[in-house]
Amino acid sequence: MVRAVKTKQTRSLTKGQRAILLPGATGAEPWELWLLGGKAAADLVQICPSPLENRLRKNTILALPVAQVFCLPLWLNETDPKLFAGIIRLQLELRGLQPRGTEPAVFDWTIVAQEASRTLVVVGVLPATLAPEIHAEAYDAFDLSARYLPFPENTLTIWREQDKLALTITRGSSLVYYQSLGEGEINTRVMQDISCAQVTLAMQDILMPLQKMLLWTEVTPAELTTLKGALPLPIEQEECPPPVAPKQTWKLTPSVVGEARRARASRNWQMRGLAIFLLFYLIVVGVLVTRLVTTSRRVDELRQWQTENQPALDLIHDGRSEWKELGPVVDTKYYPMELLLETYQAIPLDQLHLTLFEAGNNHLLIKGEAKNVAGAFQFFGRLKGDPYFSAYNLEMANPHPLPNDLASFQIEGAHASN
């Protein structure tokens, strides 16, 4: 059988196109990359030595060879599709198809026929171990190769996958059974397998009367004679047609691949988390360092300003200290005569006379005799209220009444600058 392969390598898919990697008929061309959908018909674009050689694998469905997927047609006493998964899982366990350990079985199914109280499904189950080349993590999805071939109704079809013969049987137009025959040529053992499968399916009421046997591979006259002798069906021989996409794909992702994907997703999340943390960390560090640099720069600017203005400030400070020391010369508040004048102005009319007035060293002492005690207090109150004496902390002990009805008093004050 000769297949035409596109010489120009396809690098991307157009809108609506799907890429399928199907097992080839021979071991020399073990994998074929087909493009389905879109405006053009199915197109073989590449022959690959292994699934890893496919450049479009991120957007490709890897169709597993029939030899890699175990087939189990089942009548389920249930018509609600929501319950099928649980029932099928139990059936797999019953038949010993559940892998050992905690890993669940990888399977998918298609409804073949539905009656009033039961449903016929064909289940594809992945074995616990698969060929290493199948563990191609980068593939978008995993399916069964037989589901992509357009088998005629109620037909037993023999075809070839990677040099091995494969058998498929349809019920109506639906694929109901497939099996790898494990041999490269039709012999008595193969015929026994075919008969066995046919009888088993018939006993389970899975098969409808078969109309013909179809050969999608070249056979020798001897093989054809063997076939004719074993099965009472008309035999037709055709070239294997191009693949056709099923309505819905199976999800037969190997557990190793699923685990690897989960691990990668987990790693990706960890890396994302780490990246976000690092970004946040760098922002915080950046803010702290910027704040430090800004403050440092402000301090430098202030120091520079201080240095620039220091001579002028020194002159001012010198002048101020000199002026302060010359306070008794230049500030009238230090003049004793001014203090005396203010003191006299605070005396109530005809109320008292002073006997001593002392001022110096920021200290003030006033002694006198008042007409009575009230006069002394009145004088003291006036002095305290006088703004001129606001810088002095004035204090007066209780006036001392004299025998001549006068009251002697003494007022002392210290300058607040002391």
- 103 vs 318, which CB is nearer to another protein? 318
Alpha-carbon separation of residue 29 from 137, 166, 322 (angstroms) = 22, 17, 109
**Residue 411 touches another protein, criterion: CB under 8 A:** no
- 65 closest CA partner among 252, 257, 260, 258: 252
**Burial group, residue 229, by CB count within 10 angstroms (0-12, 13-18, 19+):** exposed
Cβ of residue 413: shortest distance to another protein, in angstroms? 14
Among positions 195, 335, 381, 402, the unique one binding another protein when judged by CB under 8 A: 335
- Candidates 106-114, 247-255, 311-319, 392-400; binding stretch for another protein (CB under 8 A): 311-319
Q: Which is nearer to another protein, 312 or 397 (CB)?
A: 312
169: left (phi over 0), alpha (psi -120 to 50) or beta: beta
Residue 322 near another protein by CB under 8 A: yes
| Separation of alpha carbons 128 and 255, rounded Å | 8
Cα angle 69, 70, 75 (rounded to 5 degrees) comes to 130
**Among residues 173, 321, 345, 398, which is the contact residue for another protein, using CB under 8 A?**
321
Binding range to another protein, per CB under 8 A, among 6-14, 216-224, 258-266, 359-367: 359-367
3-state DSSP call for residue 392? strand
What letter does residue 248 receive in the DSSP assignment?
S
317 touches another protein (CB under 8 A): yes
Does 402 participate in binding another protein (rule CB under 8 A)?
A: no
The answer to the question of residue 266 lying near another protein (CB under 8 A) is no
Judge contact between 382 and 402, C-beta under 8 A. Answer: no
Q: Under DSSP, is residue 315 helix (H, G, I), strand (E, B) or coil?
A: helix
Q: Decide if residue 277 touches another protein (CB under 8 A).
A: no
Can you tell me which of 6, 267, 320, 400 binds another protein, judged by CB under 8 A? Answer: 320
Tokens of 411: 């007022």
How many residues bind another protein (CB under 8 A)? The answer is 42
Residue appearing with tokens 């006068």: 406
Residues that bind another protein (CB under 8 A): 288-289, 291-292, 295-296, 298-299, 302-303, 305-306, 309, 312-313, 315-323, 325-326, 328-330, 334-337, 340, 354-361
